[in-house]
Amino acid sequence: MDNPRRIAWDVLNKCASAEQYSNIALDTAIKRAELPSVDRGLLTTLVYGVIEKQITLDACIDSLAARGGIAPDVRNLLRMGTYQMAYLDRVPDHAAVNETVDMAPKRAKGFVNAILRAFARSGKQIPMPDREEDPIGYLSVRYSFCKPLCEKFVAVFGFRRTEELFAAFGQEPPLTVRVNTLRISRENLLARLAEEGIAAEPTPHVSNGIRVLDKTPVTALCGFDEGLFFVQDEASQLCVEALDAHEGMRVLDACACPGSKSFGAAIDMRNTGSVVACDLHKNKLSLVESGAERLGILTVTAEARDARHLREEWCGGFDRVLCDVPCSGFGVFAKKPELRYKNPEKSAGLPGIQAAILENASVYVKDGGKLVYSTCTLLPEENENNVARFLQSHGEFTLLEQRTLYPDTDGTDGFFFAVLERK
């Protein structure tokens, strides 16, 4: 039987050395390993937990290590051991120490053993910077976000609101799906899940969403193979509702992959009309095509296009246009923990790209049609500021609605959307 801790260590090393996204590396590892559901759960918890708490764990390790320059693979092993001791109540300290030391390379066994036992003797204390004297350092260690990101959020939201948001991003979000009402109602799908012993509840903000409260892999849920649902956060579902697509319409999803918003629009249109789903990367379009096939959606066509470049024959040709633009992702830390360590300066060029996509997509909207702009970030320069600049130079559009959703107050991803109408 494969060892979930050893697999987790391997995944963490690959993510660090090859800069792989954790969800991709983890999915690959799970498919290759022979693990019962309990061990799959431990593997997933270790990988995501260690990445999410990396700065906090390193503060503990470095406060106990008498030497610097810990090898990356050994540091990942220490992070795993420390994480189990600090955050997993069901794993006894002695088991976490023994399992971690057993996996350690010979050169590091004594060192790993000494650090973990010292951590246990300390009462598993986290060396926290003073909240008043070093607020940025405190936020960084307490919530495990890099300091440049802490500084950015404090500049935008203030210290107290930043702390509320960071705490919310530390909560594990439930799996949220949208029901494929071409094939089943929400009530009937909830009944089927209940029959299978799967805990689930209707979403509070949208009429066709379900929150799955069990940790069953999505592909193992009843109805997945039948195309009865697809994964989509409630914020994203609200964005599709705001698009307001109706039967027989022609819809453009300018930045579509992996396709959930295209699927939602097609379902709202009752599999009539047409949805053109575009993406810059041709190799990603198979996600849209395979997803539409599983769901029985016949009206979605996928096309590789740079959303900044004009296609003249589309001008004025769409009832609805959606621009879910590439963004910093600073609203989905709970689902993409690597983003906690991304310097916001690396996203400084995004507002210009987003504005170019919005500008180009706007010419495709019919008179009386709607244009929806959305991101999964909370930064104003990628959200409200882009919309305001667009409206200043486009008097032919009116702002009908704009909304920012927050993980603590709305229970969704951090998300923004604006609905514009061509007069």
Report d(CA 285, CA 34) in Å as an integer.
30
**In sequence order, which residues have a C-beta less than 8 Å from that of residue 347 and are 6 or more positions away?**
327, 328, 330, 379, 382
Domain span(s) for CATH 3.30.70.1170 in the chain: 175-231
Give the tokens for residue 361.
Answer: 């997509």
* Homologous superfamily (CATH) for 4-121: NusB-like (1.10.940.10)
Query: For each of the chain's 423 residues, which pLDDT tens digit applies?
Result: 579 999 999 999 988 876 667 888 888 888 888 888 888 889 999 999 999 999 999 999 999 997 778 999 999 999 999 999 999 988 899 999 999 999 999 999 999 999 999 999 999 999 999 999 999 999 999 999 999 999 999 999 999 999 999 999 999 889 999 999 999 999 999 999 999 999 999 999 999 999 999 888 898 899 999 999 999 999 999 999 999 999 999 999 999 999 999 999 999 999 999 999 999 999 999 999 999 999 999 999 999 999 999 999 999 999 999 999 999 999 999 999 999 999 999 999 999 999 999 999 999 999 999 999 999 999 999 999 999 999 999 999 999 999 999 999 999 999 999 999 999
Name the active-site residue from 60, 150, 327, 376.
Answer: 376
- Residue 144: the pLDDT is 98
**CA angle centred on 250, ends 247 and 254, rounded to 5°:** 125
Q: Where are the alpha helices (DSSP H) in 202-284?
A: 234-243, 260-268
pLDDT score recorded for residue 22 = 85
For CATH 3.40.50.150, list the domain ranges present in the chain.
236-422
Where does CATH 1.10.940.10 sit in the chain?
4-121
- Select from 79, 54, 51, 91 the least CA-distant residue to 336: 51
Distance CA 332, CA 324 (A): 14
Say what the pLDDT of residue 1 is: 55
The pLDDT, as a whole number, for residue 19 is: 67
146 noted as active-site residue: no
Fold of 175-231: Alpha-Beta Plaits (3.30.70)
The pLDDT assigned to 250 comes to: 98
CATH no. for 236-422: 3.40.50.150
401: number of Cβ within 10 Å: 11
